[in-house]
Every structure is written in C-alpha cells, then in structure tokens.
Amino acid sequence: MTNGQKINGTKRVLVACEYSGIVRSAFDSRGWDAWSADLLNTEIPGNHFVGDVLEILNLNWDLLIGFPPCTFLTYAGMANWYDNGRAMSRIKAAEFFMKLWEAPVKHICLENPRGIMNKIFRESDMVIHPYFFGEREMKRTCLWLKNLPLLQYQLSDNLFEQKTASEKPEPSFTGIHKKSGRLKKRYYTDTLVNGKYKSSKDKSKSFSSIASAMAEQWTLYFNLLTDHRKDAACRVSTQINNN
C-alpha cells in the first residue's frame, strides 16, 4: 500500500470492514484505486489491508465506505441486550462507528442495520433493500452519508424512468419468535444454510447490486465534481489573464 500517493490523479476509495471484496471490486472495475480492509483476509483477490483499519484512515482517501460491526449495535440483538458485558461492547462498537465517521476523509458512507446509532448519533440518511436495485433479497440497510448524494432507485416504471427494483421477495420461511411465540416472516438474514441459520460473517457480506449502485452512481458524482472544478479553474484563469 502506498502512503496515500495518487497515481495520475486516480481517485482512491477505502472500504472498511469488508473481507468479501465485493464493494472494492465494484469500484476497481470503474477505475478507482480501491482498497478493502478487515481483520480477515479477502475472499476476492485484490488490494486488501489486513489489520486495524483505523491505522490507515489518513492515507489520502477520496471516499470511505464503512461496514462497522453491528453485532452490539443492531436492535436485532435485543434478546441479549442486557447480557453481562453487552453494554461495554456496545459502547466500544459505537465508538468505532464514530471514529470511522470522523475520519479525515471528505466523502463517507457508513452502513448498519437499524439500531442504537439511530438514537445516540442520528437517523440514517436513507434506508434501502437489495431488491431496490434488482437483487431479489430483503435486508433493511441504513446508510449514513457525508458529502455524498443519495443512491437513486426506482420501485416502478414512470413516464421518464424504468424501475431498477425486482419484485419484492417472499419470505424464505415463517418461523416462531423465541420470546413472543408469534409467527415471524423470515428473510435473508434468517435464511438456513445447511440446516443452520446464517452466521454473522455470512450475513455481513455486501450485496453486489448495492455495491454496483454505489460504484456506478458515486463514480459519476465524482466525475461531475472534477468537471465542475475544472470549469471553475478555467473561469478563474480566464479572469486572471483578462486582468
């Protein structure tokens, strides 16, 4: 990994807490100097830092996309909310989330399910599902955005745009809630794999549809920013020459 040095003005993106390489690869395919970082090795070969991502936040990134661990932050863990040690783990997880948010990077996106950060920090800027972008899965995903536009999607066709969404997925199965005893529809995060519920590692993988939407739309956004700066620089140069 270079010390934040840009090559020929190539934009640099760091995907924090990603071992799958899915988001990193989406940006790499669009010409970015794209890196992922995690405590685990990457599943898809590519630029990947193994270790504490906080150590590399100051390496001149244009964009930071973070997937901070949600185990102790999500409301899905309410059944164990008051277990011994959970409160301190929740504080540490929230602190890590905020360290990513306060990183010295102008453009930031952090992803998490709905949870404690919606209360102690602020509400997310948008809530999306993979099926919004054509991947027929349902997983509520909150995005906190800093100096980035909302991801655009269309749930249905209209006069000017075609829909990007697939049909809303049906539940994988209907199970019984452990505490209430009521029937509960189960979607992606509760899907059985080889007779067992998905592990937290499996559930943390990014969806390729969302990764593609981020890479496509935010690459266009950065290109527009670059063009705007060039136009502004030309106007300033013209004014100086005229004077």
Q: How large is the average pLDDT for residues 13-33?
A: 98
The pLDDT, as a whole number, for residue 189 is 56
**Residue bearing tokens 């943390």:** 204
The residue ranges of every structural domain in the chain are: 12-169+204-242
Calculate the CA dihedral of residues 108, 113, 116, 122 and round it to 10 degrees.
Answer: 40
What is residue 236's predicted lDDT score, i.e. its pLDDT?
55
Q: What is the third-level CATH fold of 12-169+204-242?
A: Rossmann fold (3.40.50)
Please report, as a single letter, which amino acid is at residue 161: E
> Which residues have CB under 8 Å from 179's CB, separation 6+?
79
What global pTM score does this model have?
Answer: 0.86
Indicate the pLDDT class of residue 196, thresholds 50, 70 and 90: low
Using one digit for the tens of pLDDT, what is the confidence trace for 71-110?
999 998 777 888 898 999 999 999 999 999 999 999 999 9
Tokens representing 92 are 């540490």
Residue 218: enclosing H or E segment and its boundaries?
helix 208-242
Token digits for 90?
A: 């929740």
Q: Copy the structure tokens of residue 18.
A: 């990603």
In 3D, which of 164, 220, 207 has the Cα closest to residue 67? 207
Question: Measured between alpha carbons, how far is 78 from 209 in angstroms, rounded to an integer?
Answer: 29
pLDDT at 175 over 70: no
Tens digit of pLDDT for each residue in 109-168?
999 999 999 999 999 999 999 999 999 999 999 999 999 999 999 999 998 899 999 999
Q: How confident is the model at residue 193 (pLDDT cuts 50, 70, 90)?
A: low
97 vs 180 pLDDT, higher one: 97
